[in-house]
Structure 1
Amino acid sequence: MAGRIKEEDIALVRERARIDDVVGSYVTLKNAGGGSLKGLCPFHDEKSPSFNVTPARGFFYCFGCQEGGDVIDFIQKIDQISFHEAVETLAAKVGIQLRYEESGAPMPRSQPNQRPRLVEAHRVAAEYYAEQLFGAPEAMLGRQFLDKRGFDRDAAVLFGVGFSPRGGEALTAHLRGRGFTNSELVAAGLSADGQRGLYDRFRGRLMWPIRDAGGDVIGFGARRLFDDDKIEAKYLNTGETAIYKKSKVLYGVDLARREIAKGRQAVVVEGYTDVMACHLAGVQTAVATCGTSFGDDHARVLRQLLLDHDQFRGEVIFTFDGDSAGQRAALKAFEGDQAFASQTYVAVEPDGLDPCDLRLQKGDAAVRELIGRRVPLYRFVLSNVLSKYDLDRADTRIDALRDAARLVISIRDRSKVDAFTRELAGHLGMDVDQVRTEVHRAASRPAPAPSAPERGPVQVTTEPPPPPRVDLPSPRDQRFVIEWDVLKILMQHPRLVGASFDELDDQDFTHPWLAAVRTAMAKVGGPALAAPGEAWVVAVREAMGNDPAAAVVSALAVDPLRLGREPDEQYARAHVARLQELTCLRRIADLKSKLQRTNPIDRADDYNRMFGELIALERYRAELREQAISGAI
């Protein structure tokens, strides 16, 4: 057994393995100033980035979960391996040949570190399969498969597509010749152990290498080509190994990672050829799951790559077939929608074509247009729910309302509920208050009684339940951060806002408690008449009386601005403009929704009026954006 790794080699690994490069393979990092980088922590779920990396010092630290250390500690924690194994893993990545102490007590290890050897075995296998695709006569069917789907040799090389020989032992023999042991080949999932010895796990199939975000091949996806293939499954994937966990793997992430971070967009498609088609068509943010449905772990991977905490920038776009299976997949995706802070969308081709077939039949531009025509996921799901009912009949409209109300209350992001309720009312042609009442009733409907009285029907009250309890808004909640910051400036530096306060109203504050604080400020004369010091804070608090929202006032008074200098009028005005811009964005979205439901021929006057309003709002939003940018918020 090898002894301890030489200390100078460990130091060399720390020096050569740059922590920003290593961490950046798992997490998108953005400049946070002062030589620090920031991203979403890979060790716990969070909505706002609290994970910091300082390349100059070679350390990371998360202010949310308190995990920290150097690059070796990071690999230990992320891969759940020992210190010894982490050093070996990093050494293999940066090309350092480690030396071990032969004297003294050896490093206790329950088992050898397999990852470097398993990754190397997959690299060699991927090269071998790629050579076979264009070098072996029996790979003709594989080449024809790619050609029929519009993929030439360059595309195959870009994605590393290969072919596994039919013989049964070709790859095993090749890897043995490269020094890999039987146990390593079985552990890698490349070979299996039968009655007559080892044989190739994949035989006579078109092969896609599956890489992790860092570019290491960790598994394969294999497509059936021959009718006499004894394994009937069309696609066969690597089984669970020490380096391959299908619930955490996304095909194409190695190619898409940087574009996902750059464009704040991820497109989730259903298969390997769909990923290829999207990338070749210019949609370079496409990824796919590998033989399993999209799950929570996949969402975590995307969130870390998206730096998913800004609700106005990030997009996750799912592509589904338009059939019933695609609708079921959309419902499942909707159930996991809350995993993202980013907006989730659906892109469905009306003709039912997947991205690969769409590119083949209609060209690259059609694939780009498919993604461009995305619709919000909740709208797609809502349409599917309502399509089951005849909305021309009053009784079935009520049934549709009840069914859709359950969909509305399943949304954990409460800020979306009112917009969803209004949209539902528009689809049903019902009064918004009637729909809102049913949504409240669905949210608070009591459990049914154990038994009904036999003497008559159960009397059901028609009074709407009280609205659900509203919790204290968090300054870390990205939905309210601008609202919170504006009120914080008003509370701590009221004179900086001055007359700009009169441009605000309660509609600019989406959280009722924050709106209540603005109302209280107006009651005491607004910031232009604010008394100096704590008197202003006391006055606002007293104006709120026994309102539970008064608890927000103290928090606003003590929460630091995080500016690093004294704020000025430009800084305050920029925050007010950003808040007004968000209100304007909500109005624009509402107007676009109305336009979409308005027939431009039958209701030409209404349509033209709303279109004119939309143009004016877009101009106003652009003006507000310029003011916000001027303050560098």
Structure 2
Amino acid sequence: MISKATIDTVFETARVEEVIGDFVNLKRAGSNWKGLSPFSEERSPSFMVSPAKGIWKDFSSGKGGNSVAFLMEHSHFTYPEAIRYLAKKYNIEIEETEQTDEEKAITDVRESMYLVSEYAKTYFNNTLLNSEEGKAIGYSYFKERGFTNDTIKKFSLGYSPESWDAFTKEALGKGYKLEFLESTGLTIPRDDRPFDRFKGRVMFPIESMSGRVLGFGGRILTNDKKAAKYLNSPESEIYHKSKVLYGIFQAKQSIAKLNNCYLVEGYTDVIQFNQSGIENVVASSGTALTPDQIRLINRLTKNITVLFDGDAAGLRASVRGIDLILEEGMNVKVCTFPDGEDPDSFAKKTSYDDLVLYLETNAKDFIQFKASLLMNEAKNDPIKKADLIRDMVVSISKIPDRIQREIYIQECSRIMDISEQVLHSTLAQLVQKDVVEVGKKQKQEQKAFEIVKNENPFEAEKVDTLGNVEREIIKILLLYGNISEVFEEVLIGTNSEGEVDDLTEQIETKVCQKIYLSLQQDEVEFASILFRNIYNDLINVYLQNESFNLEQYMMHLNPEFAQAIADIIMDDEEHVLHNWQGQNIFPKTKLETLNQFVTDNLFTLRWFLISQFIENSKNSVSREPGADNIGFLTEANDYNGLLKKFSYKTGRVVVRYH
């Protein structure tokens, strides 16, 4: 179990914008940072990070919290794993305390699969470097490919022995359960004796963006024609081939920094490019490119350069992937290598400077690429040329941005020597077809909505007025509780004529004390259990400490509190996403009218509770003849008078909250 001192050090050291910046491409927005949500599909940023508060909020999914909460949500880390990850990132030594049997037992299936996969990576790497068989076969193979020891270490390359069950036997001996060896696909079940899936192969661990081992790719080194050259882990709870990219863990920082991602096909393409000094490269691992893989890159950059070898058949198949990239609103270029060369072989024999120059010089816009690729086939055949032009316009129609579409139409017109008018007409037909399809879908959804609506024709969603007010009071305590303000207090006294009257006095006090004393005086308790618990916890902190630091307070909150608090205090940051200042709209800050803001919320809470009491009193009135309702009516009348006084104080019209 990780010691409290280590956890404290991790929280004090970790910067939320640095932690999240490893996974999301963040851009500065005032004192905050913003980016595309890693939890939903979007093209406009709704993900906010506040370094000053040490928290983040994703407005598209509603998720939020501190840096540890992000790792738990994004990378499916357990709490201890998130702490260990941050400790490793910031070179913090972890102090351990004795773990109880109960704590050791709290390991779910996914975590067990991750642990088995991590062990397998270590085992295969150790076998490659330290066993006679591994050095003679696996290590020799990687050396022939030109990979250095540093490269082998960086990508944790390994070797699985030729023996049928060498890995399985070793893992079972270390205490790993057979069910998890089988569920990860490392071991193939058989009644008489389970055996290793990857026996006799060099191993390529496939890692998530956060560095967790999801699965493996294994290459056979013999000439066995019955066996597949490359073998991947099967789909599992933690490994989905269509949602991962090989090398993303090693490439993420370079991709974000250089604002471009090179996309290749194979493991060795990625490794050779890295060894040549180009790290912003990932591979689709031999599968057709998928929207999920593109969105993974989209979190880090909007620019993709697809690298292909000179194989014409492979190039034609790759064109489909380009359209998918365009549909995601990303910018795509294509770079091909000379005949007989692929990214691996070309990078191996080319210096870093020459490789960078080649990529910059030969990377073509997708329009130019399609034209050069397919014009050789079309040649002087007008029908094939027409098909080519139509194919190019189909690609253009996938682009969401109208201005970009217009520019590409102009470029296509110039390259293919055809009028823009004809291209616009074809594009309009394609776009209209898409609009019709969307319209049909919307009608179906609307029809479904109407059915639901007609089932409850008079039922409308109620506004949770009390919950909103309680939420605002929590927000005030979190953000402004330690600030001193001048408040107008109403006291009972005698006026100049000797009559008892309400007297006002200006009193300076801390916001937290104002709220606490007001609610204590009114004997008010929050209705929401969650808000009540947060309020009580906050008040205890304020009463016991002279100062309050939000970031430190967030450190040790349980996940439920952390999520709720992130939701509350980041709501005000959503206006940053809309860039009101850029539109010459300058909303007043809460600090400019803090005393009024606090007073209004306390009045609103009282207003609501009194209105609720009056309604309850009315409902308690007996309809029986001769019933004595004077007490109820008098009390309700007194409270009505109090509401009118609130109305006078705040300048509001008297309304009743139900």
Give the TM-score, by structure 2 length. 0.58
Structure 2 counterpart of 1:202: 198
1:561 to 575, 582, 593: 582
2:42 to 42, 46, 51: 46
Cα displacement (A) at 1:12 = 8.9
Q: What one-letter code is carried by the residue in structure 2 that aligns with 1:281? A: S
1:445-524 matches, cutoff 5 A: none
1:121-520 matches, cutoff 5 A: 121-139=116-134, 140-228=136-224, 232-306=227-301, 308=302, 315-372=303-360, 373-391=362-380, 400-402=388-390, 404-440=392-428
Contact 1:30 1:38 in 2 (8 A): yes
Separation of aligned partners in 1, 2:238 and 2:79? 16
Separation of aligned partners in 1, 2:298 and 2:95? 32
Separation of aligned partners in 2, 1:73 and 1:355? 39
Question: Which protein, 1 or 2, shows the higher relative CO under an 8 Å CA cutoff with sep ≥ 6?
Answer: 2
Structure 2 counterpart of 1:28: 25
Contact 2:370 2:392 in 1 (8 A): no
Q: What one-letter code is carried by the residue in structure 2 that aligns with 1:87? A: Y
Cα displacement (A) at 1:96 = 7.1
Instruction: Check 1:61–1:138 CA distance in 2 against 1; reply closer, same or farther (3 A cut).
Output: same
Cα displacement (A) at 1:255 = 1.5
Deviations 1:37-70 (A, max 9, x none): 3322112222232212234544221234433234
Cα displacement (A) at 1:284 = 1.1
Cα displacement (A) at 1:327 = 2.2
Provide the alpha-carbon RMSD of the alignment. Answer: 3.8
2:82 to 65, 87, 90: 90
Name the count of aligned residue pairs: 434
Deviations 1:238-261 (A, max 9, x none): 222333222222211121111111
Contact 2:3 2:95 in 1 (8 A): no
Contact 2:158 2:202 in 1 (8 A): yes
Deviations 1:194-220 (A, max 9, x none): 122332221110111222222233322
Contact 2:36 2:42 in 1 (8 A): yes
* SS across alignment from 1:150: coil
Cα displacement (A) at 1:225 = 0.7
Separation of aligned partners in 2, 1:222 and 1:130? 13
Separation of aligned partners in 1, 2:371 and 2:275? 33
Instruction: Check 1:388–1:216 CA distance in 2 against 1; reply closer, same or farther (3 A cut).
Output: same
Unaligned 5+ segments in structure 1 are: 309-314, 448-557, 567-633
**Is 2:52 the partner of 1:63?**
no
Separation of aligned partners in 1, 2:17 and 2:213? 21
Deviations 1:274-322 (A, max 9, x none): 001111112110111234222111111111122x4xxxxxx21111233
Cα displacement (A) at 1:116 = 4.2
Separation of aligned partners in 1, 2:434 and 2:346? 49
Deviations 1:90-125 (A, max 9, x none): 3554557688899xxx99x9x942444433333332
Unaligned 5+ segments in structure 2 are: 88-93, 436-578, 588-658
Structure 2 counterpart of 1:505: none
Contact 1:190 1:202 in 2 (8 A): yes
* SS across alignment from 1:37: strand
Per mean C-alpha deviation after superposition, the further-off stretch among 62-71 and 270-279 is 62-71
* SS across alignment from 1:326: helix
Q: What one-letter code is carried by the residue in structure 2 that aligns with 1:43? A: F
Larger radius of gyration: 2
Instruction: Check 1:242–1:58 CA distance in 2 against 1; reply closer, same or farther (3 A cut).
Output: farther
Cα displacement (A) at 1:441 = 5.5
* SS across alignment from 1:47: coil
Separation of aligned partners in 1, 2:300 and 2:261? 9
Instruction: Check 1:284–1:179 CA distance in 2 against 1; reply closer, same or farther (3 A cut).
Output: same
Deviations 1:471-517 (A, max 9, x none): xxxxxxxxxxxxxxxxxxxxxxxxxxxxxxxxxxxxxxxxxxxxxxx
**Is 2:25 the partner of 1:37?**
no
Separation of aligned partners in 1, 2:395 and 2:79? 49
Cα displacement (A) at 1:349 = 0.7
Separation of aligned partners in 2, 1:394 and 1:168? 59
Separation of aligned partners in 1, 2:18 and 2:183? 28
Instruction: Check 1:403–1:113 CA distance in 2 against 1; reply closer, same or farther (3 A cut).
Output: closer
Separation of aligned partners in 2, 1:91 and 1:410? 42
Separation of aligned partners in 2, 1:264 and 1:335? 20
Contact 1:13 1:87 in 2 (8 A): no
Instruction: Check 1:23–1:295 CA distance in 2 against 1; reply closer, same or farther (3 A cut).
Output: same
